[in-house]
Amino acid sequence: MKNNTKVYAFIILFSCVIINKVNADISDNLKNHIKYLASEELAGRGTGTDGNKKAAEYIVSQFQKIGIKPWKNAKNYFQEFSVITDVQKESDGNMAAIYSPIHMSELNTTIGYTPLSISDNGSAQGKVVFVGFGISSSADKYDDYEGVDVKNAIVLVLRGAPDLDNPHGTIMQHAGIRSKVMNAKEKGAAGIVIISGAKYPDSLMPLKWEQGGKVEGMPVIQISRIALEENIQNLKILELEKHINSSKKTYSKEIPNSEISFSVNLKQISVKTSNVIGYLPGTDPTKAGEFIVCGAHYDHLGFGGEGSGTLSGKNDLAIHYGADDNASGTAGLLELASLLKNRPLSRPVLFIGFTAEERGLLGSAFYVKNPLFSLDSVVFMLNMDMIGRLTDKKINIGGIGTSSILKPLIDSLGKEFDFKVSTTEDGFGPSDHASFYSKDKPVLFFFTGLHSDYHRPSDTWDKINYEGETAIIKMANSTLDFIGNSPKKPDFIKVKSSPQAGQSMSFRVSLGITPDYSDHPKGMHITGVRDGGPGGKAGLASDDIIIKLGDTQVKNVYDYTYALGKFKAGDKTSVTVLRGPKEDKEFVLQVEFDAQK
């Protein structure tokens, strides 16, 4: 008996040594992956940049090293598509003519301006009307367009928002330049000139691409405040702004005896980028058509700009290394691929490194529209995004309500790995799993939470909890082991829930839909509709194309969010959609908005 005890003790000790060695190997591999992906050489992995391409090539090299091959009908690992990343002036014409229609010699001058990327191409000419901050907000009982006629006029609009004493108002929701341009368009203006007031330096903003692209039919430029005042008599912009802020009321007015004429001619710059896809066959031929997708996005923000400084409100133009977001998830994808290669599942697995997630889930949206094989063959999707900052063993796992097997599985594994697991049932969310859930696929989303380095240059490799991420990878592996080897494929449940974190958080109402952030030639494509939400009750369906909400023409998600900001709980309006195989059948549905939860 004593000898047997010694044997058992030796086996336990040996097993512990093996486990510790495996954990150390995974941890070291994670560190090597993340140090490279979040290195200065890759310069933040911005979509379409050299760093982004190097990251994709690195994923391929690791797949090859592990023994993960491309999908059998694919020529290589790359699924390429184009993304608009920049905008440039097509010509050098950037002088605005300012003159008096009555006394041509009185003003008759030209001054420099910069077009803004949301501008449509074309010329604009008309009388000049100062419309304050260019905001119309019924919730704040504030409308800069009240009492002035801007039909076919050039409107002067201040950046920012007025100082109102209304803590429950929504004025800042309308402060974005896109919202101001949309408002000017709906009021009938011929063009819009953005000017800086006291809160902003009187320098011209750089011409750079912004998500959402142009506002059709609206030429948009920025002119220096000082230059305008030097060339338009009796125009005192800071005094007008001060009057608005001190009175808490609008102070819009036509500028007499003055007109402005300008033109914009821009071209969009597209780049190629790629999802990276590896394939691991399953061991059971009877399950060869039941695929599991394991994904993580590998792109980040490059040098920052739009999307940077989300928590600080700053715009940091420096390398955004993106160690946690999402070199951590990409490294986890590679280590899962290695573990599963050594112990394959009964079901086949696709490992996908998604690109352009930071630009609106574009990579995963492109994949579900252009799958390597029918999406009917996908039975489950696991997504890892920001899994490198485990603190106090707390992990967030989303999507547990999307299949009946997931909650008991996660409960069990959470205890096994000694995690403090917080869960959400919803399969929607601000990462790539949402694209699959919108196609009725059960999903799980592993995430260790936001932190002060989120979308900042300070998200660096040395702040990653490598031991913690190792434990997460092992839990993810156990999750895939259970689902990939179960006799039955997971069922799918469409979750009834409140809007996802990050969607319409600043709005008082929601349609309860998931918009497609990628461009569509006809309008805004819907990828998912929540059961029980206002859109679902109105009859909206996945793959509908919204072309109008209320009185607002909708071309993309930014037009949609602008329109959404006009409504409050209890409001009723119409939503016009296109549907059908050719997206050519128009339907007008009536919707009543619920309050945001």
Instruction: Report the pLDDT value the prediction gives residue 413, as an integer from 0 to 100.
Output: 97
Which of 184, 212, 172 minimizes the C-alpha distance to 124?
Answer: 184
Instruction: Report the pLDDT value the prediction gives residue 6, as an integer from 0 to 100.
Output: 55
Question: Rounded to an integer, what distance in angstroms lies between the CA atom of residue 389 and that of residue 382?
Answer: 19
Q: Which CATH code is given to the segment(s) 2-86+270-386+425-449? A: 3.40.630.10
What's the rounded mean pLDDT across residues 384-408? Answer: 96
What pLDDT, in 10s, does the model give residues 25-34? 999 999 999 9
Token match 């704040």: residue? 140
Backbone angles phi, psi at 447, to 5 degrees: -160, 130
Q: Which pairing describes strands 394-398 and 420-424: parallel, antiparallel, or unpaired?
A: parallel
Domain ranges of the chain: 2-86+270-386+425-449, 91-264, 509-595
**CATH of the domain spanning 509-595, picked from 1.20.140.10, 3.40.50.10380, 2.30.42.10, 3.40.50.10800:** 2.30.42.10
Residue 311 reports pLDDT greater than 70:
no
Token match 């109105």: residue? 538
Q: Is residue 434 within 8 Å of 528, Cβ to Cβ? A: yes
**Confidence at 124, pLDDT banded by 50, 70, 90:** very high
Instruction: Report the pLDDT value the prediction gives residue 264, as an integer from 0 to 100.
Output: 93
Q: How far is CA 404 from CA 379, 490, 494, in A?
A: 13, 8, 11
Question: Rounded to an integer, what distance in angstroms lies between the CA atom of residue 133 and that of residue 122?
Answer: 24
- pLDDT greater at residue 309 or residue 72: 72
Q: What is the 3-state secondary structure (H, E, C) of 444-477?
A: EEEECCCCCCCCCCCCCHHHCCHHHHHHHHHHHH
Could you give the percent of the chain with pLDDT greater than 90?
65
Give the pair of three-digit tokens for residue 483: 């689902």
Question: Rounded to an integer, what distance in angstroms lies between the CA atom of residue 540 and that of residue 250?
Answer: 38
Give residue 79's identity as a one-letter amino acid code: Q
Instruction: Report the pLDDT value the prediction gives residue 526, as an integer from 0 to 100.
Output: 87
Instruction: Report the pLDDT value the prediction gives residue 504, as an integer from 0 to 100.
Output: 38
What pLDDT, in 10s, does the model give residues 515-562? 876 677 888 888 778 778 899 899 998 889 999 999 888 888 878 888
Cβ-Cβ contacts under 8 Å for 322 (sequence gap 6 or more)? 37, 38, 44, 45, 300, 301, 459
**Confidence at 500, pLDDT banded by 50, 70, 90:** very low
Residue 16 reports pLDDT greater than 60:
no
Question: Rounded to an integer, what distance in angstroms lies between the CA atom of residue 458 and that of residue 449?
Answer: 16
**Confidence at 3, pLDDT banded by 50, 70, 90:** low
Range with the largest mean pLDDT of 92-96, 306-310, 391-395, 505-509: 391-395
Residue 7 reports pLDDT greater than 60:
no
Q: Which H or E run includes 129?
A: strand 122-130
What's the rounded mean pLDDT across residues 67-96? Answer: 88
Instruction: Report the pLDDT value the prediction gives residue 160, as an integer from 0 to 100.
Output: 92
Residue 421 reports pLDDT greater than 50:
yes
What pLDDT, in 10s, does the model give residues 563-574? 888 888 888 999
CATH level 3 topology of 91-264? Glucose Oxidase; domain 1 (3.50.30)
Return the beta strands (E) in 303-389 as ranges: 349-354, 378-384
Q: Is residue 549 within 8 Å of 535, Cβ to Cβ? A: no
Where does residue 519 rank: exposed (0-12), middle (13-18), buried (19+ CB within 10 A)?
Answer: middle
Q: Which H or E run includes 221?
A: strand 220-222
Give the pair of three-digit tokens for residue 484: 């990939």
Return the beta strands (E) in 315-447 as ranges: 349-354, 378-384, 394-398, 420-424, 443-447
Q: Which H or E run includes 275?
A: strand 266-280
Q: Is residue 257 within 8 Å of 231, Cβ to Cβ? A: no
Residue 315 reports pLDDT greater than 80:
no
Residue 285 reports pLDDT greater than 90:
yes
Residue 106 reports pLDDT greater than 80:
no
Which of 465, 487, 470, 414 minimizes the C-alpha distance to 444?
Answer: 414
Instruction: Report the pLDDT value the prediction gives residue 306, as an integer from 0 to 100.
Output: 59
Count the residues in the chain. 597
Instruction: Report the pLDDT value the prediction gives residue 499, as an integer from 0 to 100.
Output: 46
What's the rounded mean pLDDT across residues 386-412? Answer: 96
Residue 442 reports pLDDT greater than 60:
yes
